Amino acid sequence: MAELKYKRILLKLSGEAFMGDKQFGISPETLFSFANDVKEIYDLDVQIAIVIGGGNIFRGMQAAAHKIDKIAGDNMGMLATVINCIAFQNALEEIGVPTRLQTAIKMEQIAEPLIRRKAIRHLERKRVVLFGAGTGYPFFTTDSAAVLRALEIHSDLVIKGTRVDGVFDSDPEKNENAIKFEQISYLDVVQKGLKVMDLTAITLCRENKMPIIVLNITKKGDLKKAVLGEKVGSLISEY
């Protein structure tokens, strides 16, 4: 078995990635494709925690544009992340990966409440832990929630799965001449105004020296390469 560079990771997936070719909602084919990618690294004995956005269902920003109260919109967005977590939990368990879902907003009928020590214990017992409902508070993104959870469980790495191959100087989906950074510092991400993660998430990573790998989650094998320490996507670190 190949030697792992990262033994415990936090995988951040965008809700939009779950849409596949759809305009909104969840594509079952995409859902199970991602689940199989996770199983591939699970079978390497990687301890895996997952945070999923809710943008395929609802965004707080969309609510604000339609004159819905910001706090109400963010609460709706947090509930959307739970829907995605339940869907992904089901997909993982269908292919034989044991999971636990914890939510920052209590909903005991469908998930455990967020308990850090219990989450760590689940990881040690070889269960994939999904964290839903963001931070549990409005005004924070799921990027910030992902980094916060990664720090709480003492993760070795945050992996952000996107639709592009890493961090670029501009949007590669709009600019075919966008330049990719193989490695970039937290400070450069902020100073260049790169929309990789929000400022709170990047600052938390910088203060705690938490490395981030940004990769294309739709590319088969890239997730495995990342945990094995192979060059893939873009690395954000102190240098």
pLDDT in tens, 3-12: 889 999 999 9
pLDDT in tens, 114-141: 999 999 999 999 999 999 999 999 999 9
> What integer pLDDT is reported at residue 195 of this predicted model?
87
pLDDT in tens, 163-194: 899 999 998 888 989 999 999 999 999 999 99
> By the 8 A CB rule, do 167 and 236 touch?
yes
> By the 8 A CB rule, do 82 and 90 touch?
no
pLDDT in tens, 152-171: 999 999 999 998 999 999 98
> What integer pLDDT is reported at residue 21 of this predicted model?
84
Domains belonging to the chain, first-starting first, are 8-237 (3.40.1160.10)
Instruction: Identify which of 51, 48, 58, 56 has the alpha carbon closest to the alpha carbon of residue 17.
Output: 56
Q: Work out the burial of residue 107: count CB atoms within 10 Å of its CB; fewer than 13 is exposed, 13-18 middle, 19 or more buried.
A: middle
User: Which pTM was predicted?
Assistant: 0.94
